[in-house]
Structure 1
């Protein structure tokens, strides 16, 4: 699974400090709470993995290549405006991208999809305000509930899944206040998660190791403040 110490870097430490600081401040604040729902496009880079004992390949260890198409994401969050400049939130996201996986050892190709369910602790700095417009920069730490790669060939579907990894993300948001309660925003996000390991589930054996999962998101969100 994910090697936390080898992948810990300055951006991740920054995300952790921002998220923890915002979360701690929110506990002592009486400012406004909000909920939000998000939807948008998911772009995920092609990735490769080390396949071990999968019973598909001619030898025990082979390199698999996954070509990833554009997909979508949807999410929901609960947050708190802790001051004029800062807010924090708990956020859940589901993401799915179609995939075409090539097994190099024997040339087989599998359609399917690459999907994830991740919970985040996010913090935002509201860097610019002009009337109803608010521009924010954010960072967050995430816990992976599940990452799943499905392989389909004919009537057979194989599945490989992993969970428990730690990830981080950076965000940019342009928010327009429709009225006192409602806001509509455009958002862009970049997430980093490397060297993911997936274990066999349905109709599958063995494991896939060293996958990268670094999606870019472009979408909108609708928030309600109460």
Structure 2
């Protein structure tokens, strides 16, 4: 990614490092963790009313999607057993269907704030959590009839809710749901064409985290 997405990534790294240092200096006694996740994504076709622009001709196009997939990794820091912040990279891909053929891909670098409830169950192994994130993303739309369109500097946000299950002092399994949204922007294409598009999706994910 370039431009504003690179800026978001650099700012996210700086915020994470500075925050972790501040927490340690104040004696919160937190811990770092690494997380990987993957699952299914259902992009919202209703929100993607597009216009192909160029040559003085506007063509209204609606995008519909098949179920796609999500892959991602994150590094985080727990300030307390309940509060954490993480830097995340996520990739989403879904095939287009209907009026337009091709696929849409989105890469995003996000900073997430996570709040974990107290452990539940007989041994407190279950820990529900929720959170939100902001960052920078790109949209890469590949069409069979009109070529490719992309923008590498779009604002993105997401809402997160899930539950973790601690299987050891270091390892936690997770299942979660997300709503992910990339703001609409002008995607540049070939031969002077462009289109206005955003990207929104509902995700169901499974993952694991290792604390150290």
- Say which of 128, 135, 140 aligns to 1:135: 128
> Does residue 190 of structure 2 align to residue 197 of structure 1?
no
Distance 1:116 1:22 in 2: 23
> Does residue 161 of structure 2 align to residue 175 of structure 1?
no
Distance 1:37 1:143 in 2: 19
CA positional deviation for 1:25 = 4.2
> Does residue 153 of structure 2 align to residue 185 of structure 1?
no
Cα RMSD of the aligned pairs, angstroms, is 2.1
> Given the two structures, how large is their TM-score scaled by the length of structure 2?
0.82
Q: Deviations over 1:172-198 (max 9, x none)?
A: 020001101111000111122332221
**Preserved contact between residue 165 and residue 174 of structure 2 (Cα < 8 Å):** yes
Q: Deviations over 1:61-89 (max 9, x none)?
A: 12111111110000000001111210110
Q: Which runs of 4+ in 1 moved over 6 A?
A: 20-23
- Say which of 119, 141, 147 aligns to 1:149: 141
Structure 1 residues without counterparts, runs of 5 or longer? 1-19, 103-109
Structure 2 residues without counterparts, runs of 5 or longer? 1-13, 25-29
CA positional deviation for 1:27 = 2.9
Instruction: Summarize the Cα distance change of 1:92–1:22 in structure 2 as closer, same or farther, 3 Å threshold.
Output: closer
**Preserved contact between residue 89 and residue 107 of structure 2 (Cα < 8 Å):** yes
Paired residue secondary structure (1:159): strand
Aligned to 1:16: none
Paired residue secondary structure (1:188): strand
Aligned to 1:89: 86
Aligned length, in residue pairs: 189
> Does residue 210 of structure 2 align to residue 224 of structure 1?
yes
